[in-house]
Structure formats: C-alpha cells, structure tokens
C-alpha cells in the first residue's frame, strides 16, 4: 500500500520568502568610491573602480574550501542561456543580467526572484550580433539599475521594482551596433561602449546623465579628420574602422581618468587600411568630465589578426625596479602581458604568456611596440597563412583578471590555440552600408596538439615572472576572483566551478555545474556567512566549437551549504489523512 501526501501552500511560502528583503537604500557614488572594505556587497562590475576583483574575506579558506556546497540555484531560462555577467550585490539583493539583455533581481540569501525585466529586443537586430546574445552585467547608481541592450539602447530601471525609468537609444543598431558590456557608473553619469567591430562601425564611449538619460559626451576612439591620429588611417577607412568598445572600463578618481579598452580594427583584411589605425587594439584614457582622450596605447598597431584588446584593465600601484608606479595591467588577446604607466600611457614592461607566439618576434623594450613577423600577415587574394599563434580567439578575450594588492600577483586565463587566416581579394568585398559583415577574410581555428588549449596563470607583477600555470584540455572562459584567505575562484569549459590555492595553483575544490563557466564569480558576506556566486551557462564564441549544454543558472555556494533553513514552503506542508483513495 502507498500513502498519498498533499503539499499545500508552496506558492504562498515562496512569495513570503521573496518578500523578505525590504526596499534597499540607494547606491551613492561615494559608496562605489569606498567599496574596497565593503565585504557584504559587490556594487560595480569589477567591485571597485580599479578592477582588482579582490575581496578581503577569510571565512572560506584553503583549509575548509572543500566543504563548499550549493545553497540555492536560480535558473534564468531564455532561449540562449549563456551567462557571461558579473552579478552585483546590494543590501541582500543580487542584480544580474542574462542573454537577450534581460535583468533579474534575486534574494541573495534564498535565490528567490524579486523581479525581472525583458527589454524586448528588436528581433531583426540579431543580424548584427557578432558572437551570440550576450550581456556581461549591469550598473547600480542611486535608485537605479542600468543595462545596455542588444539593439543598442541604454535602459534605467527602478532597482526595487524593475520598472523602466528611462530608455535611451545610444545609436542605430541597423548600422551594426549593439551593447554587450556592463555600463560603468562614474560620478552622476553612466558610461557605455558598443560592440560591432565586425560590422564596419566606428567605436566610441558615451556618457549619460544617470537621472535623466541625457547624453553628456561622446568619445570616438577612432580619430576623425583634423584629430590627432587620423593620419594613421588611409583615405576614409576611419569611417568603418571598427574599434568596438564592447567591455567595461576602469576609473581612477585621483587622476579623473576613465580607462577603456578598444577592439579590433576593421575590416579583418588589414591590407586595405595600412597604418597604425589608432586607437584600435589598444587602451584609451578619457577625461571623466569631458570624454577627451588624454592618451592612448596600442598593443597591436595595424591589427591584422583580430586582436581585440578588451579585457577590463586593472589599476594598481606597484613597486617596480625600486619605484612605485601607478600602473595599468593588461593581458592581451595577442598573447603578451603588459604593464603601463596609467598617468601617461608609457610602456613599463611586457612579457609573452602564450607559448610559441609567432605573429610577433617580441616587444620593443623601450616602447612596447611589437616586432611583427611579416610572414604572419596574409596578402589580399593570397594563400592561407597558418599556423598563426595565438588565434583570433586569443590568449584572453573579454574575461576580467583578478589582482591581490597585498602580494602583487595577478590571475588570468590564457588559452593557447592557433589559426589559419586568408584575406579576400579587395574587389570581392565592399564597405558596409547597413551594418553588414565587414571582414574581407576567412579563418580556421586549430587546437595545438603539443600544448593544452586551456591555461590559467598567476603572474608576479613586481618581480616580472610567472608563478604557476594550471592547464586544461579545454579552454578557460571565465573571469577570476581572489580573496584575502589565499583562494582564487574561476571556472572551466567542462563546467567546473573551482577554487585554486593562490600561491601554488593547486585545485582545492571543484563542483560540476552542468554547463561551461563563462561568467565571473563574486563573493560576499551576509549574516556572518560568506557566499560565492557562480554564473553557469555557455554562450557566445564557445558555442561555435563545443556542444556542451547551455544551461543558464546562477549558483550560490557556502560552507556546508550555508545556514540551516527550512526548505521553501515546509512551514505550509500539511498531511491530510484519507483525503484521496489509496493506490496500490
């Protein structure tokens, strides 16, 4: 005989739990400025303006991290399900974006949805998606949440309700533009870049009034006629030169400079735009009040390999050769790690990270300019050039680095693969008129049989040396997080969320989430409990090469599964004897 139990009141219980967090207070600019020691929140894309992704928490440490267990799982649903965002946390509420530029507010303790927002992106805009419908995060300022959309709008939402406060078109998506990066809130403004480097755009960063959505300034990263650097573009090639700004910048309040990374030059066939093509494949420093470019540095002048320079820069004051230098740290898609003086853009030092780099023979020790191997540059209508190392997927792509300011060690993914590149004849492709593909090239990516494709690296910045390297038979495609306790968190394409010993690289904990990790982990402490959040879900570029499940889940971990709680709805469970006939 089998008994039948009736479960009552689940919906009521879920609603009650979802309503627990009251309306959170506003996020002031000063809160973001002073976020360094705020361990209960994660208020901006990189946690702090300098981009360290370092948290001074020690409850989870190398001796007990093996006890991490899931506390809750939040599914984002949707058609694409790729999660590449960094979740934000404010007063017990998580704010996170997902594919199709959707936004969720989630109870940070229970994982219960508080509200969600769908921008209802124009379906026709899919034709200008380079690499899937990705969104890498939101921004918080005052009482609003800000998100960029795949059809090139910037939207402000009420952070307590998800209602639209304002919705501003940044530019016409039909010209090849979209927005995939997290906005950056600075002072009383919200800044955004744009994607579209493969569609003949001209990249820029725009600043908007956070209260009204009115435009404050626009900074084009490709100089026009009469502007310094325009001479590095032949003819009118600057008009469609790419230079997408599709990730998130960093900010130095003392210098009043915003640092933004710039993507590849367009078209991929570099033979039609001979010259340095400023400021593509580089970094620009912008005056925060005016948007004026104070300085620029190119990692790959005359980019002939689609070497976007887009991972968010790290700002750190570092002792180098006995002197403290205000540095900007950057690991580039081209396979080199760079240290710049962030006050003026001068090259400090660089080092090869990817084994077997062959597009360049090295870097000029004084200027950092690459010593290009001309044998690795294709000719229009000529044969495929292969193998070029690294490939256009790069050592790193958009994924954020993590830096421990106490040790001077920086942590980042650095994959190793090769490619073949073939340029079309120049009369076989035309300049885009309505955001069509503007490549003029074909490529093929190769996995190198002699070297594992995946690598995660620890680099000692002051001492200019690699400390350790963790390899993997599949690429790492996630951001990094480091804590005071000596742990580094990241994820891999097998779907493992993982914790590494920050000093040795030894894996201390792994949890298979069911889908590759392509987002960035964060950690916070509430009610005396330290949580680690992992977005899990494949999206974007990796779907071109791998067929693992896409999933789309945000997973919270804590020691031993966190504080003991009754399961949702248990308080309303009721057994009613004899209410239904017995079966069996």
pLDDT along the chain (584 residues), means of 10: 29 35 81 97 98 98 98 88 93 96 97 97 87 92 98 98 98 96 98 96 98 98 97 97 97 98 97 98 98 98 97 96 96 98 98 97 98 98 96 94 98 95 91 87 90 95 98 93 98 95 98 93 97 89 64 94 63 54 43
Q: Which residues of 277-292 are buried (b: 16+ CB within 10 A; e: fewer)?
A: bbbbbbbbbbebeebe
Which residues does 402 contact at the CB level (< 8 Å), separation at least 6? 52, 53, 54, 410, 411, 412, 479, 480, 481, 482, 488
- The pLDDT of residue 428: 84
CA 398, distance to chain mean position in Å, is: 5
Which residues does 468 contact at the CB level (< 8 Å), separation at least 6? 457, 458, 504, 505
CA 119, distance to chain mean position in Å, is: 21
Which residue bears the tokens 């790690």? 337
Cβ–Cβ < 8 Å for 55, 484: yes
SS3 164: strand
Any idea what the Cα angle at residue 289 is, between residues 286 and 295, rounded to 5°? 20
The C-alpha atoms of residue 105 and residue 117 are separated, in whole angstroms, by: 9
Which residues are part of the catalytic machinery? 306
The C-alpha atoms of residue 96 and residue 118 are separated, in whole angstroms, by: 12
The C-alpha atoms of residue 337 and residue 180 are separated, in whole angstroms, by: 24
Q: Where are the beta strands (DSSP E) in 248-313?
A: 250-252, 257-262, 282-287, 293-298
- The pLDDT of residue 13: 32
Residues in the chain, how many? 584
In what order do the strands lie in the sheet containing 139-141?
139-141, 144-148, 153-158, 164-169
- The pLDDT of residue 572: 53
- The pLDDT of residue 432: 84
SS3 192: strand
Cβ–Cβ < 8 Å for 265, 281: yes
- The pLDDT of residue 573: 54
């Amino acid at each position: 005989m089998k008994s039948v139990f009736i479960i009552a009141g689940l919906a009521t219980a879920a609603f009650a739990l979802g309503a627990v967090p009251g309306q959170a207070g506003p996020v002031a600019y000063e809160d973001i400025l002073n976020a360094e020691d705020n361990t209960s929140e994660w208020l901006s894309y990189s946690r702090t303006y300098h981009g360290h992704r370092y948290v001074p928490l020690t409850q989870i440490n190398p001796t007990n991290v093996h006890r991490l267990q899931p506390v809750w799982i939040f599914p984002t649903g949707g058609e694409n399900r790729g999660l590449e965002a960094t979740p934000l946390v404010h007063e017990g509420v998580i704010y996170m974006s997902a594919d199709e530029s959707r936004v969720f507010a989630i109870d940070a303790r229970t994982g219960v949805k508080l509200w969600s927002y769908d921008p209802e992106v124009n379906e026709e805009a899919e034709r200008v998606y380079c690499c899937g419908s990705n969104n890498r995060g939101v921004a918080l300022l005052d009482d609003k949440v800000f998100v960029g959309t795949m059809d090139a709008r910037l939207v402000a939402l009420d952070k307590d309700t998800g209602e639209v406060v304002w919705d501003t078109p940044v530019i016409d998506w039909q010209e090849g533009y979209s927005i995939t990066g997290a906005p950056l809130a600075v002072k009383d403004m919200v800044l955004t870049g744009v994607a579209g480097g493969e569609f003949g755009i001209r990249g820029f960063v725009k600043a908007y009034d956070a209260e009204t959505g009115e435009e404050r300034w626009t900074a084009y990263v490709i100089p026009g006629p009469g502007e310094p650097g325009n001479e590095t573009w032949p003819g009118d090639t600057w008009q469609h030169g790419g230079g997408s700004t599709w990730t998130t910048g960093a900010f130095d309040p003392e210098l009043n400079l915003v640092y933004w990374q710039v993507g590849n030059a367009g078209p991929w066939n570099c033979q039609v735009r001979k010259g340095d093509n400023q400021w593509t494949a580089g970094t620009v420093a912008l005056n925060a009040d005016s948007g004026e470019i104070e300085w620029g540095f190119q990692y790959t002048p005359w980019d002939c390999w689609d070497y976007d320079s887009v991972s968010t820069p790290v700002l750190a004051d570092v002792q180098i050769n006995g002197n403290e230098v205000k540095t900007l740290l950057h690991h580039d898609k081209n396979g080199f790690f760079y240290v710049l003086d962030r006050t003026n853009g001068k090259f400090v030092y660089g080092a090869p990270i990817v084994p077997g780099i062959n597009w360049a023979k090295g870097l000029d020790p004084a200027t950092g300019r690459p010593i290009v191997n001309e044998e690795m540059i294709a000719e229009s209508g000529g044969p495929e050039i292969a193998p070029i190392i690294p490939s256009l997927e790069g050592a790193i792509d958009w994924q954020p680095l993590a830096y421990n300011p106490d040790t001077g060690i920086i942590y980042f993914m650095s994959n190793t693969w090769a490619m073949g590149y073939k340029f079309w004849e120049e009369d076989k492709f035309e300049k885009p008129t309505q955001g069509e593909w503007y490549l003029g090239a074909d490529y093929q990516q190769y996995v190198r049989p002699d070297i594992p494709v995946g690598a995660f690296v620890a680099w000692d910045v002051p001492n200019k040396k690699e400390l350790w390297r963790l390899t993997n038979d599949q690429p790492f495609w996630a951001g990094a997080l480091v804590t005071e306790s000596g742990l580094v968190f990241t994820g891999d394409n097998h779907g493992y969320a993982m914790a590494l010993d920050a000093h040795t690289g030894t894996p201390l904990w792994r949890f298979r989430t069911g889908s590759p990790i392509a987002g960035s982990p964060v950690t916070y402490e509430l009610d005396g409990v330290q949580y680690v959040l992992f977005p899990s879900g494949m999206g974007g570029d990796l779907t071109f090469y791998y067929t693992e499940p896409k999933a789309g889940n945000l997973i919270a971990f804590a020691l031993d599964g966190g504080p003991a709680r009754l399961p949702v709805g248990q308080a309303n469970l009721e057994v009613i004897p004899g209410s239904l006939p017995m079966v069996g």
